[in-house]
Every structure is written in C-alpha cells, then in structure tokens.
Structure 1
C-alpha cells in the first residue's frame, strides 16, 4: 500500500485530534510555523492540509487571527 502524502497525513492527525476532543470547537490550531516544525513538513504541506480541513468544514480560518476548530453544529449544517 502506498504511503499517504504528507499533507494527507497531517489532515488525518489534526482530524483525529479534533474527533478525540483534544482540540475542541473554537480552539485555535497551532500556527503554520508550529505545525511545520512539529511535523517536519513544508509550509506548502501545512497550507494544503488546512485548506482540505476548511473544505470539509472541520476548521475555519479567520483572517489575521488564525485557524480555529469549527463548531460541529455549523459543520454539520453546511
């Protein structure tokens, strides 16, 4: 079985943190720089992972503030 791309591995990791409750609705995700360092990946990998989570309604970006875990009710309704 082929290895998942790094961005997909990061999506899986962040999604599992959210599903487990480690990150709750309204919590801010680590910054791009922090995620880059923690997972030893490039900025492009982090941005792609965040974009995928945003498209799935799992997180939402707030310009100038960061990326936050979406409210589950809002995510289910969209």
Structure 2
C-alpha cells in the first residue's frame, strides 16, 4: 500500500488537532510559512491540505487574515 501523500498527512494532523480540542473553533491556524517549516513540506502541500479542510467545512479562510477553525465544524 503506497504511503499517504504529504498533503493528506498534514490535513490528518490538523484534523486531529481540531478533534482533540487543541485547535478550538475560531482559533487561527499557523501561517502557510509556519506549517511549511514545521512539517518540512512545500507551500503547495500546505495549500492542498488547507483546501481539503475547507472543502470539509473544518476551516475557513478569511482573505488577508488567515485560516481559522470553523465555528461549527462539520461532523466527521
């Protein structure tokens, strides 16, 4: 079985932080640059992970401010 893509691993990590309460509704996620550095991945990997989480309703991007945990995350 092939390894999960890096963007999927990062999305899983952030999803787990939200599920555990480490990241609460309204919390701001680290910046793209911070996530890239923390996880040793490219900007594209971070963007893809965030896009997937946005599609799932877990996070919301606010233009010019950043990405935040959704106030009412969609149930998993």
TM-score above 0.5, yes or no = yes
2:52 and 2:5 map into 1 onto residues whose CA distance is: 13
1:21 and 1:66 map into 2 onto residues whose CA distance is: 19
TM-score (norm 2): 0.94
Matched, 1:33 2:30: no
1:12 and 1:4 map into 2 onto residues whose CA distance is: 10
* Runs of 5+ unmatched residues, structure 2: none
Q: How many residues align?
A: 75
TM-score (norm 1): 0.92
CA drift at 1:71: 1.3
The Cα offsets for residues 32-72 of structure 1, whole Å up to 9 and x where unpaired, read as: 00000000000000000000000000000000000000012
Higher relative helix content: 1
- Please report the RMSD computed on the Cα atoms of aligned residues, expressed in angstroms: 1.3
